[in-house]
Amino acid sequence: MAETHCPYCALQCAMTLDGAQVTPREFPTNRGGLCQKGWTSGALLTSPVRLTTPLVHGRPASWDTALDFVAGQIERIQREHGRDGMAIFGGGGLTNEKAYALGKFARVALRTSQIDYNGRFCMSSAAAAGNKAFGVDRGLPFPVADLGDADLILLVGANPAETMPPFMQHIKAGLVVVDPRRTATAERATLHLRPAPGTDLALALGILHSAFSEGYAEHDYIECRTQGFQDAWRIAAAWWPERVERVTGVSATDQRAVARMLAEAKNAYILTARGTEQHASGTDTVSAWINLALALGLPGKPGSGYGCLTGQGNGQGGREHGQKADQLPGYRRIDDPAARAHVGKVWGVDPSSLPGPGRSAYELLDALGRPQGPKGLLVFGSNPVVSAPRATHVTERLQALDLLVVADFVPNETTALADVVLPVTQWAEEEGTLTNLEGRVLHRRPALQPPSGVRSDLEVLRELAIRLGTPAKMFPTIAEEVFDELAKASEGGIADYSGITYARLRDGEALHWPVPDRRHPGTPRLFTDRFGHPDGRARFVPVDHKGPAEPPDDDFPLMATTGRVLAHYQSGAQTRRIDELVAAVPESYVEVHPDTAGLAGLADGDMAEIESRRGKVSARVRYVASMRPDTVFLPFHFPGENSANRLTNPALDPTSRMPEFKVCAVRLLHGGME
């Protein structure tokens, strides 16, 4: 029996495992609750399709044969195409230790700049906006339990009632939801605003306009704790609510009501999530909501604040310790000479040998197999065939590689393309740490022995590093040893873990980073006295509305948006293996207003074809009377002909490099595949 945490979202609900039997455990984030995914998470531990033997070109092989083959191919590729001929694609579900080791392996063993991860598709816009405004990126700069005392919470582009249901226990008072769909979360709202997809930024400007023009702005706070308000206001001043109504469809009355509700609340929070971020203007859109929060004096105020709901299980820690293209451990920039010197010393390498920034996630996938792109790719903890935008094109790029190696514990759509599949441990079979949505570092204890023939990701990286000529001591396989090195590498960085030890975590200390020494109690609440910029002030960022990169037109008159459903997670590689979850949502579907479906000759329950400029998918029609007539919704958890990401637009945010998942132009046709 072991105390551990759920393998899915960043709420990281606490549970106890007895074999494969799950029991919820009391913890500040979940308060003894679990969602359907958490309750059934033990079923994956005994899955009959579990990978237990390495595969080379689809045939079983010994570990030595598989690793020798991979190392030989890496050496050949780098000899013929240079160090950047090899690339790595990681995942936001990897433990801190594995994310750290993956980044180190890329820069020390491969010496490639070509590494990024699927978290680029999740939190990158909020991270960029948070760094601009606050000088720090931490999803929630306060404990999630603080929300219980709020008088009002404004949720923008978030549907936690389905994506992280135990979170809803913390919402006890007024709730305003901004979402084009009438979601399960919106059903609980005091007020639901339904902007057209891709117009959230204009809505934020309209509410800021109302707040300032009607006297709700906190001028003392703006004067003492921020800078740049006038530049931001010059733009917002032109977005009066009636103009915003024409762009978004949200009434001027409702915009003014939200401004008043936020101002009158004693304790108010603004929280954003993927619906706000996953746009070609996602960073600016998040910045617009942060500007509203700053104008009202919320960030750093006791009982109030701004935060972002992180998605993946280790979405926070996964981006802090080096598997992003532009980062070194501790949330350091890889192009910062001081950061390179510090990390080089910890690693025992010349800082000048460390590569510079590489391609972001989609740009990396798009470059695969091209003349100037990587010829080999190692994938750890991700399934980009389903999860990446313009998925058919990404599949073609993966097929163009000389070498594709995937480390995973169950087969998925990406392992099906791999030259080599390496069976690795899963969550309940390994020790490690994760950092949840509130910046709290959690210890995950092993509960089961892995099946015979399975190795950990840390062991895989060590064995490959040895074969590539790197000393074995540089890649320990004991998680605690890796964490101790991570702590040293992060020392002095924004995400400083140097004071965290496994002993402190095992003793149950609640350690929210930064924790700069072993006597430090952690920092559950950031910004109470100062923000992360050198002068201690937050920054207003002037932003303006541009609209979606691909607006609807005569050929593609509808807007498609994508998202998650309660029963499934991410690409569905895990949840589509669990009978109870498959029974709950067995296939893809498209939510459509009945009038919109009728115009296409589609009845409720028919199979439809949804087409964008990038591809077609099939999905079963669901009549949803609350849908906007100009919008359709598809979950993105399904593969093949049902893959919503065959439609999505890879237009990238210029700062975060986030693709525009949340809106693309489509048309609805009769006759999808049964």
Distance CA 241, CA 604 (A): 37
Q: Is 654 exposed, middle or buried (0-12, 13-18, 19+ CB in 10 A)?
A: exposed
Question: Lowest-pLDDT range, 100-104, 480-484, 509-513, 669-673?
Answer: 669-673
> Which pLDDT belongs to residue 672?
54
pLDDT of residue 638: 96
In a shared domain, residues 273 and 329: no
Q: What is the average per-residue pLDDT within 50-67?
A: 98
Residue 671 confidence (pLDDT): 74
**pLDDT > 60? residue 463:** yes
Task: Please tell me the predicted confidence (pLDDT) of residue 1.
Answer: 82
Could you give the percent of the chain with pLDDT greater than 90? 97
pLDDT mean over 506-531: 96
Task: Say if residue 95 is exposed, middle or buried (CB neighbours under 10 Å; 0-12, 13-18, 19+).
Answer: buried
Query: Per-residue DSSP letters for 147-174?
Result: GGG-SEEEEES--HHHHSGGGGGG--SE
The average pLDDT across 340-344 equals: 98
Confirm whether pTM is higher than 0.95. Answer: yes
CATH number of the domain encompassing residue 241 = 3.40.228.10
Average pLDDT, the chain: 96
User: Which of 437, 461, 480 finishes a domain?
Assistant: 480
Q: Does residue 553 form part of some domain?
A: no
Is the model's pLDDT at 674 over the cut of 70? no
Say yes or no: 437 and 568 in one domain: no
The string of pLDDT tens digits covering residues 559-594 is 999 999 999 999 999 999 999 999 999 999 999 999
Same domain, 463 and 333: yes
Q: Does 290 map to a domain? A: yes
In terms of domains, do 80 and 209 share one? Answer: no
Same domain, 128 and 273: yes
Q: Are 267 and 330 found together in one domain?
A: no
In a domain, 514, yes or no: no
Please tell me whether residue 387 adopts helix, strand or coil conformation. helix
> Do 89 and 29 share a structural domain?
no
Checking if the pLDDT of 192 tops 70, the result is: yes
CATH code of residue 419: 3.40.50.740
Instruction: Please state the φ and ψ torsions of residue 108, each to the nearest 5 degrees.
Output: -105, -50
131/264 same-domain check: yes
Q: Does the residue 542 lie in any domain?
A: no
**To which H or E segment does residue 408 belong?**
strand 403-408
Whether residues 342 and 455 share a domain: the answer is yes
- Residue type at 280 in one-letter notation: A
- CATH number, domain with residue 2: 2.20.25.90
Tell which of 274, 309, 344 closes a domain.
Answer: 309
Strand partners, 308: 272
Burial track 419-438 (b if 16+ CB lie within 10 A, e otherwise): bbbbbbbbbbbbbbbbbbbb
Residue 504 lies in a domain: no
Domain count, the chain: 4
Instruction: Check if the beta carbon of residue 244 is closer than 8 Å to that of residue 258.
Output: no
Roughly what angle, to the nearest 10 degrees, separates helices 124-134 and 282-295? 40
The DSSP letter of residue 512 is B
> Has residue 97 been placed in a domain?
yes
Tell me the sheet residues that pair with 305. 269
Say if residue 71 is in the same domain as residue 40: no
Average pLDDT over residues 523-530: 97
**Are residues 31 and 96 located together in one domain of the fold?**
no
Number of Cβ atoms within 10 Å of the Cβ of 36:
17
Maximum Cα–Cα distance across the chain: 71
Do 353 and 425 have their domain in common? Answer: yes
Residue 539 lies in a domain: no
Nearest to 288 by CA among 206, 365, 214: 206
Instruction: Identify the band that residue 460 occupies on the pLDDT scale cut at 50, 70 and 90.
Output: very high
- 615: domain CATH number is 2.40.40.20
Residue 155 neighbours by CB distance under 10 Å: 27
- Domain with 4 in it: 1-46
Which whole number is the average pLDDT over 225-246?
98
Would residue 267 count as lying in a domain?
yes
- pLDDT tens, position by position, 148-185: 999 999 999 999 999 999 999 999 989 999 999 999 99
Distances from the Cα of 115 to the Cαs of 99, 358, 400, 617, 618, in angstroms?
A: 11, 7, 18, 30, 33
pLDDT classification of 673: cutoffs 50, 70, 90: low
pLDDT at 415 over 90: yes
